[in-house]
């Protein structure tokens, strides 16, 4: 306790002995820090908070009979949050922002000098960031010297992420739709061909092989029993036609059944693929849009001045203490004490 008191007294005495230079250092540091604080460019902060939506396709959510679908109104899982973040970091969004906001000019980057894109990317990373929150939402953060510029860019980043995801999904869905469409209309054409063939067989008198065989057999037996030679000849001709085309009729009839089932399945796939190919729905739930910030986020000018003064005083005390210690050593050497 006594040792602490002695140390406090020594420090107090030291400050009193060097009060004038310390005051000078404080005034000088205050002046310099104030000038620096005034000259430091202001930066405004704008943020968007959003939840990614489920990545399930629209068609599956709306018309699928599968009961395990997630639904369009559900928030995304942790995996879908990471996927959305990857889209936010994509070159597509950076290029669109660069074009719309003319970032080379805005960040004072001469595109004719060496490594302009490297410098632009560095500025981009300094001023724009994305992070996943503990609630599985995403925070988009934009800093800029112009408050409206910051808020507009933050909101556009969220919208660009939506359109980028839709663009990627539509490109793939259109290819899938083209494949399903070809198969669907080919199946319809095949069914029409089979039905035309069945129509020609019906024109020849073949309607139902099994039923006709049974009816003709009964009629043939009755004609023979009655001695109806004309009727027997007519039935024999019908038997010949039935024997010649009956197998084809059965095959075509079975093909109609199979093609009808196939077309029913393809029609559902066709409808789903068509919905996915033209869909343009949001892939996010925006909790908080970016508003134009009213106050600058940094620098905190009073903190800059205070930090400058305290740092200068601490450095000054160290220098003065070192100088005083050195002076005492020299005096000891000279006096031999």
Residue 221 lies in a domain: yes
Residue 167 lies in a domain: yes
Residue with structure tokens 């925070």?
Answer: 139
* Helices 229-278, 209-226: inter-axial angle, 10-degree rounding: 170
Chain centroid, CA 82 distance in Å: 8
CATH number at residue 61: 3.30.1890.10
pLDDT at 7: 56
Phi, psi of 90 (to 5 degrees): -70, 155
**Long-range CB contacts for residues 150-154, cutoff 8 Å, separation at least 24:** 150/44, 150/45, 150/46, 150/290, 150/292, 150/293, 151/46, 151/290, 151/291, 151/292, 151/293, 152/290, 153/46, 153/97, 153/101, 153/128, 154/46, 154/47, 154/48, 154/290
Domains in the chain, number: 2
Residue 199 belongs to domain spanning: 174-278
Residues 167 and 285 placed together within one structural domain of the fold: yes
Kindly state the DSSP code that residue 144 receives in the 8-state scheme.
Answer: E
pLDDT at 331: 63
Contact status, residue 150 vs residue 45, Cβ threshold 8 Å: yes
Contact status, residue 153 vs residue 142, Cβ threshold 8 Å: yes
DSSP per residue, 103-136: HHHHTT--TTSSSHHHHHHHHHHHHEEEEE-TTS
**3-class DSSP state for residue 73?**
coil
pLDDT at 308: 84
Residues 51 and 159 placed together within one structural domain of the fold: yes
Final residue belonging to a domain, choices 278, 305, 331 = 278
Residue 252 lies in a domain: yes
146 φψ region: left (φ > 0), alpha (ψ -120 to 50), beta (else): beta
Residues 114 and 95 placed together within one structural domain of the fold: yes
How far is the C-alpha of 119 from the C-alpha of 116, rounded, in Å? 5
Is residue 38 classed exposed, middle or buried when 0-12, 13-18 and 19+ CB atoms within 10 A define those classes? exposed
Structure tokens at 19: 């009060």
pLDDT at 217: 63
Residues 236 and 186 placed together within one structural domain of the fold: yes
Residues 197 and 260 placed together within one structural domain of the fold: yes
pLDDT at 228: 67
Q: pLDDT of the chain along its 337 residues, tens only?
A: 445 555 566 666 777 777 888 888 888 888 888 887 777 778 999 999 999 988 766 666 666 555 455 556 677 788 889 999 999 999 999 999 999 999 999 999 988 888 999 999 999 999 999 999 999 999 999 999 999 999 999 999 999 998 999 888 888 888 888 999 999 999 989 888 888 877 777 767 666 666 666 665 666 566 676 666 666 566 566 666 666 666 677 777 788 888 889 988 888 888 888 888 887 788 889 999 999 998 887 777 778 788 888 888 888 888 888 887 777 777 666 665 5
Can you name the residues that pair with 265 across neighbouring β-strands?
none
Residue 21 lies in a domain: no
Residue 18 lies in a domain: no
Residues 136 and 123 placed together within one structural domain of the fold: yes
Structure tokens at 280: 């343009």
Residues 204 and 244 placed together within one structural domain of the fold: yes
Is there a cis peptide before residue 299, judged by omega within 30 degrees of 0?
A: yes
How far is the C-alpha of 118 from the C-alpha of 12, rounded, in Å? 53
pLDDT at 196: 85
Residue 25 lies in a domain: no
Residue 217 lies in a domain: yes
pLDDT at 278: 80
Buried b (16+ CB within 10 A) or exposed e, 56-88: bbbbbbeeeeeeebbeeeebbeeebbeebbebb
Residues 111 and 206 placed together within one structural domain of the fold: no
Residues 195 and 155 placed together within one structural domain of the fold: no
How far is the C-alpha of 143 from the C-alpha of 44, rounded, in Å? 5
Residues 273 and 286 placed together within one structural domain of the fold: no
Q: Could you tell me which residues come within 8 angstroms of residue 188 by beta carbon, excluding any fewer than 6 positions away?
A: 263
How far is the C-alpha of 285 from the C-alpha of 267, rounded, in Å? 32
Residues 263 and 291 placed together within one structural domain of the fold: no
Phi, psi of 208 (to 5 degrees): -150, 105
Final residue belonging to a domain, choices 278, 305, 332 = 278
Q: Could you tell me which residues come within 8 angstroms of residue 332 by beta carbon, excluding any fewer than 6 positions away?
A: none
- Which 3-state string (H, E, C) describes 256-313? HHHHHHHHHHHHHHHHHHHHHHHCCCCCEEEEECCCCCCCCCECCHHHHHHHHHHHHH
Final residue belonging to a domain, choices 224, 253, 278 = 278
Residue 19 lies in a domain: no
Residues 104 and 213 placed together within one structural domain of the fold: no
How far is the C-alpha of 174 from the C-alpha of 182, rounded, in Å? 12
pLDDT at 273: 85
């Amino acid at each position: 306790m006594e040792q602490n008191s002695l140390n406090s007294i020594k420090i107090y005495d030291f400050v009193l002995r060097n009060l004038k230079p310390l005051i000078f250092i404080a005034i000088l540091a205050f002046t310099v820090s104030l000038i620096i604080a005034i000259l430091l460019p202001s930066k405004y902060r704008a943020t968007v908070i959003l939840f990614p939506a489920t990545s399930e396709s629209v068609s599956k959510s709306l018309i699928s009979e599968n009961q395990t679908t997630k639904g369009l109104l559900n928030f995304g899982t942790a995996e879908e949050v990471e996927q959305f973040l990857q889209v936010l970091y994509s070159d597509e969004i950076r290029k669109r922002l660069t074009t719309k906001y003319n970032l080379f000019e805005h960040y004072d980057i001469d595109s004719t000098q060496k490594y302009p894109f490297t410098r632009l990317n560095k500025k981009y990373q300094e001023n724009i960031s994305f992070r996943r929150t503990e609630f599985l939402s995403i925070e988009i953060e934009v800093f800029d010297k112009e408050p409206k510029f910051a808020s507009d860019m933050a909101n556009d980043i969220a919208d660009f992420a939506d359109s980028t995801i839709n663009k990627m999904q539509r490109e793939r869905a259109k290819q899938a739709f083209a494949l399903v469409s070809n198969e669907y209309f080919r199946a319809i054409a095949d069914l029409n061909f089979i039905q035309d063939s069945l129509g020609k067989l019906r024109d020849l008198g073949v309607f139902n092989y099994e039923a006709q065989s049974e009816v003709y057999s009964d009629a043939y037996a009755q004609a023979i029993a009655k001695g109806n030679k004309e009727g027997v000849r007519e039935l024999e001709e019908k038997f010949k036609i039935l024997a010649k085309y009956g197998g084809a009729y059965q095959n075509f009839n079975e093909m109609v059944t199979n093609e009808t089932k196939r077309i029913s399945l393809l029609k559902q796939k066709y409808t789903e693929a068509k919905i996915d190919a033209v869909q343009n729905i949001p892939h996010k739930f925006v909790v908080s849009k970016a508003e134009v910030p009213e106050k600058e986020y940094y620098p905190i000018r009073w903190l800059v001045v205070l930090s400058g003064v305290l740092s200068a005083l601490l450095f000054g005390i160290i220098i003065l203490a070192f100088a005083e210690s050195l002076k005492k050593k020299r005096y000891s050497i000279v006096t031999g004490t």
